Structure 1
Amino acid sequence: MAKAPYRVPLCLYITPKLTKFAVMLSDTEENYLKALLRITGEQGDTGEAGTNQLAGRLNVRPATATDMLKKLKEKQLVNYEKYGKISLTDTGRDLAVAIVRKHRLWETFLFEKLGFSWDEVHDIAEQLEHIKSEKLVEQLDKFLGYPQFDPHGDAIPTADGAYVSEVRLTLSEANTGNRYIIVAVRDNSPAFLQYVSQIGIGIHSEVTVLQQYAFDQSMALEIDGTKINISEKVAQNIYCKPL
């Protein structure tokens, strides 16, 4: 059974109130903060992470993660005790949101203005997100027309840290006979994005759910007059909303 998606009312803004920061961070420290944000929840959540969970996400040894957590604690960016759970401080969370903002703006720029495909933009944005110039980021946002969502359908925080969220559900939760529009993907890996592109699914695709098979929970869909079948795993990794 797919985990129920995080739901908030349409256009509800959740604001961590980003401020100007004097904290100097290395690229690696920024990657840790961003990883903790993704694990503990972006939009107003106050979750916790385990050291092994964080190390697994960053593909490092737990001992390496522990050393970094000690440094981040010294900078008052994380709450951490040995063998205990980890959470971001308010400052740590605000910094992490700012990094996510830069990443998603760069993804949008690469996709919309430079012609990169949605499965190519993540790795390049991983490099560009560490640029420190706040003026460049704000000019980039203005140049793009202040987008609210990136090419994968993820919300782009505003300059003050606000998110605009949509009521969304996974395709696996969709009802037979109803029409939906695809708004985001849960799996941003190149392999998944290439696969769904090949079968004709993308952001803003309109689909009709023809049938969900009880045997394996796979689904039959119609997209632009073409009928396709998708597995339960694929359906769980695509977000949609009713038309």
Structure 2
Amino acid sequence: MPVSDLTHSAQDYLKLIWTATEWSATPITISVMAERLGVTPPTVSDGIRKLARQGLLSHAPYGSIELTDLGREHALTMVRRHRLLETFLVEVLHYGWDEVHDEAEVLEHAVSDALIERIAAHLGHPTHDPHGDPIPTADGQPHLPAAGQLTTVTPVRGVTITRISDANPDMLRYFSELGLRPNTRLTVLGQRPYADVTSVRVEDSGNEIDLGSAAAASIWVVSS
């Protein structure tokens, strides 16, 4: 069964299940899926049962949701489409990085595999999207960098931003104002967990910034 034979909602479910554990070890639940997809938990439960009957995932009662090999293959196909489309929208059509997620959510269901591969070739086969999320290869191989959240970095250390979560467009605009993007070099000056503050210096500008816990947890870094 090619991924194009699946309904749009099935494609969304598989992509969400895979991406939810891409940067976290915590399995996704039906209630969380319902919240992210804007539907009711019973609707998600019904969709999960259908995908299980198609051999795309397994879900024991009150247990975790696990993709089968075929389900994982389809999920990575959708992730690849989404992230290549985001990259195309930013690099070729000059969208802002805070604008592309919703556009890609619509387009990823309509494009063909052939068009996606032409986009990839036109872009020079990029390995990361504008937010730093890795783009799976055409044969479905993800390549997650050995990155950690900024909140976990011990001061005083130099780090480079490798990924910023695109879950909140307002936060992306805030990061743009601060000069924080993938490949930006920082020095972590302090962690104040009881105040929920991470203090950093942006190396290129010398600006010192205090980030709240939600902002700092949205940034993934590697040691410089």
What TM-score results when the alignment is normalised by the length of structure 1?
0.82
Residue in 2 aligned with 1:180?
Answer: 159
Q: How does 1:1-243 map to 2 (within 5 A)?
A: 21=2, 24-41=5-22, 49-80=28-59, 84-213=63-192, 215-223=194-202, 224-243=205-224
Partners of 1:93 and 1:80 in 2: CA distance: 14
Alpha carbons of 1:42 and 1:132: their partners in 2 closer, same or farther (altered >3 Å)? farther
- Counterpart of 2:187 in 1: which secondary structure? strand
Partners of 1:65 and 1:204 in 2: CA distance: 37
Q: More deviation in 163-172 or 92-101?
A: 163-172
Residue in 2 aligned with 1:11?
Answer: none
Partners of 1:134 and 1:218 in 2: CA distance: 44
Deviation at 1:174? 2.2
Structure 2 spans left out of the alignment, 5+ residues: none
Deviation at 1:228? 1.9
- Counterpart of 1:103 in 2: which secondary structure? helix
Residue in 2 aligned with 1:9?
Answer: none
Aligned pair count reads 222
Partners of 1:28 and 1:196 in 2: CA distance: 31
Structure 2 contact 131–166 (Cα < 8 Å) conserved: no
Q: More deviation in 27-36 or 167-176?
A: 167-176
- Greater helix share, 1 or 2? 2
Deviation at 1:194? 1.1
Partners of 1:112 and 1:34 in 2: CA distance: 23
Q: More deviation in 50-59 or 182-191?
A: 50-59
Larger RCO (CA within 8 A; separation ≥ 6) = 1
Letter of the 1:238 partner, please give it.
Answer: I
Residue in 2 aligned with 1:10?
Answer: none
Alpha carbons of 1:139 and 1:215: their partners in 2 closer, same or farther (altered >3 Å)? same
Question: C-alpha offsets along residues 93-115 of structure 1, whole Å, 9 cap, x if unaligned?
Answer: 11011000000000011111111
Q: More deviation in 48-57 or 204-213?
A: 48-57
Structure 1 contact 41–47 (Cα < 8 Å) conserved: no
Q: Among the aligned pairs, what percent are the same residue?
A: 36
Alpha carbons of 1:206 and 1:49: their partners in 2 closer, same or farther (altered >3 Å)? closer
Deviation at 1:200? 2.0
Deviation at 1:66? 2.0
- Aligned alpha-carbon RMSD (Å): 2.4
- Counterpart of 2:5 in 1: which secondary structure? coil
